Amino acid sequence: MPGRGSRFVEDRYTEVDKLVPALLKELVPFTDKPLMLFGHSMGALLCYELAHQLVKLETGALQHLFVSAYRAPQLASDRKELRHDLPAHELKQFFRKPNGIPAEIMNNDDMMNFILPILRADVQLCDTYTYQERPPLPCGITAFGGSGDPEVNIHQLQAWKELTASEFNLHMLPGDHFFIHSEQELLIGLLTRRMGELFPDCIGRHSYDI
């Protein structure tokens, strides 16, 4: 995304409604092919909004939405404070909890001061998001969660079912909010199996041991 990696010098977005059109512009050249979206944590929210924009294009490209470790967006947040307004030391403590940032970086003040503006922009995207009620997506949704995730529970993941007019599946994997790292092989296996069911001629006729 803008403000990250090779695009670090670009301005960071702090509003979902402004970021999604910029991301959609990157996807449009690929809408002549079947598309599936996968988003983890904040990425799940962005992919959900992107999915609606892709449906509006009426290309028929969007085939499936995979969401991971994020509550269904129609659910109101139970947070009382806006995290992006927290003082730097409190925001650092907030990111220490989910185990998403290696201890070597968390304990390095220079590194944390470097990445904290990026993290603050990310949480502002989520804090300021306003859900808009729309018809359910025509594509299916598969949700993934960590059984030990303190941030997102199974009921919040099950609520994604309300946002699709097609099929819904939920997989709970061992691990915390970042089970995508600790259970990478299992997650990739589940993704591959689902893609194989959607596109058997493209993925190949194989059996997958999950």
Task: Identify the active-site residue in 41, 77, 166, 182.
Answer: 41
The DSSP call for residue 143 is E
CB contact at 8 A, 68 and 143: yes
Catalytic, 166? Answer: no
> How does 35-64 read in b/e, with b if 16+ C-beta sit within 10 Å?
bbbbbbbbbbbbbbbbbbebbeeeeebbbb
For 133, left (φ over 0), alpha (ψ -120 to 50), or beta?
A: beta
Catalytic residue list = 41
